């Protein structure tokens, strides 16, 4: 049965990167508990447009938990209080009638606010670009058994590759560290033979770019793993450290 709730939302409003931001409160009535969090924001924006007010700017794309663009801080948690879900997968049934919901953009020096709830996450793209390429032959797909890879390694690589680059790890970290993201991207290749040729260069370049872009250091509090919508393990950070140390020893 479709139930409805009345809520109040405190939303961060900021007209631009250099403007001073502030919270604004809005009342929403008869919100379906079956609607997603982003659908609730759509309803709010429709109300604002009907009143000739500026709609709230927020990022979204697939709304299927794949792209990671729905980057919102909800009641103090990246993507909300549910574990291993993105904002678009969070439903209003998780909130109570009469509740006040605080919505903020990512809070990280590496992700400057563009407007309202939208942040610039191009820093992650730059880290990926710094990692470069892998030396593999292109063309027809290889036979599945052509490059034998132990199943545990394949499983770990796939787990690391599940990172969607949403930025929740850096937003949750008290230091604004991007270590879990970088570690996931390094691990998914470090575990496979295809990634070994450029392994040393990749680890050094991605860590250097991360530092250059202003992300903080990891102090192993584990907040990144706890808030990651894909459950990427902090064990990958240990692997990144090993890869980085090996690369330095080769120098």
CATH number for the domain including 51? 3.10.20.30
DSSP secondary structure of 110-149: TS-EEETTEE--HHHHHHHHHH-------SSPPPTTSS--
8 has pLDDT over 70: yes
Q: Are residues 190 and 214 in the same domain?
A: yes
| Domain of residue 82, residue span | 4-114
Q: Are residues 74 and 136 in the same domain?
A: no
pLDDT score, position 117? 98
Burial 169-196 (b: 16+ CB within 10 A, else e): bbbbbebbbbbbbbbbbbbbbbbbeebe
Segment among 15-19, 22-26, 247-251 with least mean pLDDT: 247-251
Q: Across the chain, what does the average pLDDT equal?
A: 94
pLDDT score, position 63? 95
| pLDDT tens-digit readout, 173-197 | 999 999 999 999 999 999 998 888 8
Domain count across the chain: 2
Instruction: Give the number of other Cβ atoms within 10 Å of residue 165's Cβ.
Output: 18
| pLDDT tens-digit readout, 66-118 | 999 999 999 999 999 999 999 999 999 999 999 999 999 998 889 999 999 99
| pLDDT tens-digit readout, 199-220 | 999 999 999 999 999 999 999 9
Q: Are residues 246 and 131 in the same domain?
A: yes
What's the CATH code of the domain at 147? 1.10.1060.10
| Cβ-contact 239, 183 below 8 angstroms | yes
């Amino acid at each position: 049965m479709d139930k409805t709730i009345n809520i109040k939302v405190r939303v961060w409003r900021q007209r631009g990167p250099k403007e001073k931001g502030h919270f604004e409160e809005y009342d929403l009535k008869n919100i379906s508990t079956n609607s997603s969090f982003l659908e609730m924001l759509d309803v709010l924006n429709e109300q604002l447009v009907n009143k000739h007010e500026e709609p709230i700017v927020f990022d979204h794309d697939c709304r299927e938990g794949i792209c990671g663009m729905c980057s919102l801080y909800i009641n103090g948690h990246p993507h909300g209080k549910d574990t291993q879900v993105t904002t678009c997968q969070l439903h209003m049934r998780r909130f109570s009638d009469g509740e006040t919901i605080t919505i903020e953009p990512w809070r990280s020096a590496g992700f400057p606010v563009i407007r309202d709830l939208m942040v610039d996450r191009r820093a992650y793209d730059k880290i990926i670009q710094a990692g470069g390429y892998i030396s593999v032959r292109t063309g027809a797909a290889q036979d599945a058994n052509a490059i034998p890879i132990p199943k545990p390694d394949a499983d770990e690589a796939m787990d690391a590759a599940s990172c969607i680059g949403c930025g929740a790890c850096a937003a949750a970290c008290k230091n604004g560290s991007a270590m879990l993201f970088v570690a996931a991207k390094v691990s998914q290749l470090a575990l496979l033979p295809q990634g070994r040729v450029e392994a040393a260069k990749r680890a050094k370049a991605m860590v250097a770019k991360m530092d250059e872009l202003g992300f903080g250091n990891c102090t192993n509090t584990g907040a990144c793993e706890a808030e990651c919508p894909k459950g990427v393990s902090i064990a990958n950070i240990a692997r990144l450290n090993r890869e980085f140390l090996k690369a330095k020893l080769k120098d």
